[in-house]
Amino acid sequence: MSVLPQGSTIGILGDGQLGRMLALAAANLGFDVVVLGPNDDSPAGRVAAHNMVADYLDKDALAEFSVRCDRATLEFENVPVHSLELLQDMGSTVYPGPRSLEICQDRHLEKRFARETGVHTADYWVVSSEGDLRAAMTEIAGEGILKTRRDGYDGHGQRRVKRSAESMESAFADLNGMPCVLEALVPFSGEISVVIARSASGEIRAYDPAENVHKHGILHTSRVPARFGDDVLKAAQAAATQLITALEHVGVLACEFFVLEDGTLLLNEMAPRVHNSGHWTPEACLTGQFEQHIRAIAGWPLGPVDRVMDAEMENLLGDDVLKAFGPSGPHEAITLYGKRDMRPGRKMGHVVRKV
């Protein structure tokens, strides 16, 4: 991969807050940014040098995007795989590539890949019908979690399932009969995530694992250092290294793990992008995840990930964002996403505090 000089243009598929923070990081490294996404007046579009409002599968828009940018990337995993394939056919270099996206978009493919790589997951069954669900539930001692194979995030696309016929019927109907996976309910003691980056040359840097706490299915806080022992944390970084290497992923990858009482790690999911649980890194590390992703896709050496302080990131949802306009703590940094509409449960910003 050629090294992009400053002054080059990076294209970002996706126009939300992750795209916004990627665009700002790219600008700080001397790059221009073009954003393509479906929303007018978007968080990312307003800070980009050029904003394109179009569907991700609009071939004319993708052709213009391809001409405008010297390298392309994405802000979230629900961009169609075919969009990346079209860009590659047009001569664009795209990181991460279609394979990373295809695997991480589908919970079944993701779990199968993890197991083939030697990383453990919870027991699971592929569910394509209510009959599949009933059959799978006979193999589970207690309850399960039914999850759509695609498009799930922040607690969406999943239902807890009991062994009763009513519970199974209701859960499958609630998810509109979409292809799913059923996971055995795991009695975990906590969740940690590893944000890790890999360059095209194979250089890898892993951040310290963060301990995550969720409320109502949405990430509430991520804290470093996590409260688990060094052996558990090193094992999580090693597993993330296995995954990003086997995936041949270029850019940032986030790996979420359940930690069982005995320290066993089970992969929950991967995200082929910068991640909410890594929002503490720009303030607490020498190189934040957004800069690291830009470095990786631009062919630059990866930056050091040494942590310079213990930190906690807290999401600001809905009117929580009003905290930003009051007195801040002596060791707090607030980032707002520039979203116009303040709705309950909507991610509006985050705060990172020294702990």
**Distance (Å) of CA 41 to CA 31, 63, 143:** 21, 22, 44
Instruction: Give the chain's domains with CATH numbers.
Output: 9-94 (3.40.50.20), 123-184 (3.30.1490.20), 188-354 (3.30.470.20)
Supply 157's token pair.
């696309």
Q: Which parts of the chain fold into alpha helices (H)?
A: 17-28, 59-68, 81-89, 98-105, 107-117, 130-137, 165-174, 230-247, 281-284, 289-298
Among residues 133, 144, 285, the alpha carbon closest in space to that of 224 is found at 285
pTM, 2 dp: 0.95
d(CA 346, CA 156): 13
pLDDT digits (tens, 9 = 90+) for 6-57: 999 999 999 999 999 999 999 999 999 999 999 999 999 999 999 999 999 9
CB atoms within 10 A of CB 317: 22
Apex 154 CA angle, 149 and 156, nearest 5: 50
Give the C-alpha separation, 352 to 308, whole Å: 13
User: What pLDDT score was predicted for residue 319?
Assistant: 92
> In Å, how far from its chain's centre is CA 20?
15
pLDDT at 163: 81
How do the pLDDT tens digits run along the chain, 355 residues long? 789 999 999 999 999 999 999 999 999 999 999 999 999 999 999 999 999 999 999 999 999 999 999 999 999 999 999 999 999 999 999 999 999 999 999 999 999 999 999 999 999 999 999 899 999 998 988 889 999 999 876 667 889 998 888 888 899 888 988 999 999 988 899 999 999 999 999 999 999 999 999 998 899 999 999 999 999 999 999 999 999 999 999 999 999 999 999 999 999 999 999 999 999 999 999 999 999 999 999 999 999 999 999 999 999 999 998 877 776 677 899 999 999 999 999 999 999 999 9
User: How far apart are the C-alpha atoms of 353 and 331, rounded to whole Å?
Assistant: 6
- Phi/psi for 307 (5° steps) reads -90, 130
Whole-number Å distance between alpha carbons of 32 and 22: 11
- Nearest Cα residue to 210 out of 346, 314, 337: 314
